[in-house]
Amino acid sequence: MYPQRRMRRLRKRTLQPLFCETVLHLTDLVAPLFIDETASGKIPIGSMPGQYRYPPGEIALHVQSLYTAGIRAVLIFGIPAKKDEEASESYARSGVVQNAVRSIKGLVPGMTVITDVCACEYTSHGHCGVLHHGRCGTDLDNDASLLLMNRIAVSHAEAGADIVAPSCMLDGMVHSIRTALDESGYQDIALMSYSTKFASALYGPFREAADSGFSFGDRSTYQMDPANAREAFLESQLDAKEGADILMVKPAGNYLDVLSTICTIGLPVAAYQVSGEYSQVKAAAERGWINEKAVALETLTCIKRAGADLIITYFALDAARWLSEKPEGHP
């Protein structure tokens, strides 16, 4: 009466590891970090339990601990001491990110340092570039903002960044930054584009962490509509044609279908498990509703299964510990 094909045959606990199709590795993970130029000690981020803003003087030591744990890449965000409409601190030679990159590369030269290229943490209005005040109101000036992104990216390359990652979702940003880097002698600096970044409701905790909330409007005129999959693919396809080395989907969990499709372009693809995704798991775990380790590792494995080559996640350090633990029942 039973079918000849019994799927449970290969689900014996001793056999399962032999046939596991997707394996999460430490080298898949990128740890996002916040450096606060005004901090004298690490500052807990209330909406992101276990995450901190680090003072410039401590960031290299923290990165060293990540490297010891097996993490091989970090993504740097800076919170400057002062902001203005022009985001002038974003490209300053002695800016918070620039100094952090030098410090990290000096102490942990083997760590891959990725820098976020954007202006939202540096502008007094909280938007991702230069504003245009026109007949239809105030909005981001796309082409003027490209020049700002060029300056930021080149300053990060000068400081020693391995990869620059523009996150502003401007039209033409990849071509513009690639040209600026090449003309400045940084042909070998890789470019990871936030090529499909959705106007998601899951960024709330990040805005507390990076002090990057906007003073008016929203970012829906330059970030992706969550409802649009074809447009999402086109965004990444255009960035690939402009010279991106790595594409990205952000957020990750709600957009695995988009991630899987963008992987067909042929470039390496990163997925960003964003602050809201992290905080939801943390909040439910704190209430005893879910097993944090099991859920976090499941979400990361599913992101990799969908095709991600890199996963940017606030669980990076925890995942490094969990992955190094011996399975239950093993000596």
- 105 flagged as catalytic: no
Whether residue 146 contacts residue 139, with contact meaning beta carbons closer than 8 Å, is answered with no
Query: Residue 35: what are its φ and ψ, rounded to 5°?
Result: -115, 120
DSSP state of 6: -
Query: Which is catalytic among the residues 105, 197, 282, 304?
Result: 197
Amino acid identity of residue 150, one-letter, is N
Kindly report the three-state secondary structure assignment for every residue of 127-171: CCCCEEEECCEEEECHHHHHHHHHHHHHHHHHHCCCEEEECCCCC
- Catalytic site residue from 250, 282, 293, 304: 250
- 36 forms beta bridges with 79
250 assigned to active site: yes
d(CA 133, CA 256): 37
User: For the packed helices 96-107 and 142-159, what is the interaxial angle rounded to 10 degrees?
Assistant: 30
Strand pairing of 247-250 and 196-197? Answer: parallel
How far lies 212's CA from each of 127, 225, 230, 318, in Å? 8, 20, 29, 26
Question: Distances in Å between the alpha carbon of 153 and those of 88, 123, 216, 288, 312?
Answer: 13, 16, 26, 43, 20
Distance CA 196, CA 262 (A): 9
CA distances from 294 to 15, 192, 300, 318, 323 (A): 20, 30, 10, 12, 11
Which positions are catalytic? Answer: 197, 250
